[in-house]
């Protein structure tokens, strides 16, 4: 019973977004007496904690355990989606596509799958493919900010449709005005549309919120160089 209490305590910390404390709690657990379902639950939350803390190699070990051993289709779906996200973030886009394609062949369809597939395609410079996936995500939810921002950015950045790109980026910022990533996309879309004053204004807001993000710094450098 004490072990189960420890597992539940870690889950409570995780739910409260105290990732580091939750990880400490989970790592203390002696799982030698766990049943298979409890082991899968522990591996799942360890994987999530490591993902939240951006310790991706550690996260992969646990997520792969769940995918291999869990008998819960929903949990496997969640873990494959997380694996795909980690692969994209760490520059392994083809592996991300492999995981996502397995989900889609299994009959799963979600906005998260389409937006992650879009991001994976974009990272490989397959812009039209990325556009198509973002469009599918918006077909499912026209107000999804991830899809609005992602599609808007690609349309503007790749010159496919800079005016529509600007419109979509505006919509994303209207819904989440404190997102540095969305502010950056909007600033860049204004730049691509030739409006330097608006571009500088929005990029500076993005930079103030997230001064260390590489893409924002690069956009600031380019726009300031065109003043």
Q: Over the stretch 84-106, which tens digit does the pLDDT of each residue have?
A: 889 988 888 888 888 888 887 77
pLDDT score of 31: 84
The yes-or-no answer to whether 1-108 and 128-227 have a common fold is yes
- The average pLDDT across 103-131 equals 86
Residues 193-212: tens digit of each pLDDT: 999 999 999 999 999 999 99
Rounded CA gap, 129 and 166, in Å?
A: 20
Sequence spans of domains, the chain: 1-108, 128-227
Q: Which residue has the tokens 């072990």?
A: 3
Span of 62-76, 122-136, 160-174, 205-219 with lowest mean pLDDT: 62-76
CATH superfamily of domain region 1-108: Tetratricopeptide repeat domain (1.25.40.10)
pLDDT score of 40: 87
CATH of the domain spanning 128-227: 1.25.40.10
H helices within 19-126, ranges in order? 19-27, 36-52, 56-69, 73-89, 93-105, 111-123
DSSP assignment of 99-111, as one string?
HHHHHHHTT---H
Span of 81-85, 138-142, 159-163, 177-181 with lowest mean pLDDT: 81-85
Residue 1 pLDDT class (50, 70, 90 cuts): very low
Tokens of 45: 């939350």
Instruction: For residue 16, give the 3-state DSSP assignment.
Output: coil
Span of 78-92, 96-110, 118-132 with lowest mean pLDDT: 96-110
**170 contact partners, CB below 8 Å, separation of at least 6:** 152, 186
Rounded CA gap, 148 and 179, in Å?
A: 13
For the chain, the average pLDDT equals 90
Which pTM value belongs to this model?
A: 0.72
Question: Residues 197, 165: contact at Cβ < 8 Å?
Answer: no
């Amino acid at each position: 019973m004490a072990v189960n209490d420890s597992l539940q305590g870690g889950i409570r910390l995780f739910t409260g977004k105290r990732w580091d404390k939750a990880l400490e709690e989970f790592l203390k657990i002696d799982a030698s007496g766990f049943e298979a379902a409890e082991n899968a639950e522990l591996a799942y939350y360890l994987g999530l904690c490591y993902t939240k803390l951006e310790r991706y190699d550690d996260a992969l070990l646990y997520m792969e355990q769940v995918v291999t051993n869990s008998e819960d289709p929903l949990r496997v779906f969640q873990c494959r989606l997380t694996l795909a996200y980690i692969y994209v973030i760490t520059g392994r886009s083809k592996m991300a596509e492999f995981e996502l394609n397995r989900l889609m062949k299994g009959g799963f369809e979600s906005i998260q799958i389409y937006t992650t597939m879009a991001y994976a395609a974009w990272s490989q410079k397959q812009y039209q493919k990325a556009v198509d996936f973002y469009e599918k995500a918006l077909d499912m939810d026209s107000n999804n900010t991830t899809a609005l921002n992602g599609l808007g950015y690609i349309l503007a950045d790749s010159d496919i449709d800079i005016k529509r790109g600007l419109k979509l980026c505006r919509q994303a910022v209207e819904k989440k005005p404190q997102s540095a990533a969305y502010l950056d996309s909007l600033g860049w879309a204004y730049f691509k549309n030739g409006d330097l004053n608006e571009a500088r204004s929005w990029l500076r807001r993005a930079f103030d919120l997230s001064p260390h993000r590489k893409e924002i710094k690069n956009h600031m450098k380019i726009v300031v160089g065109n003043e």
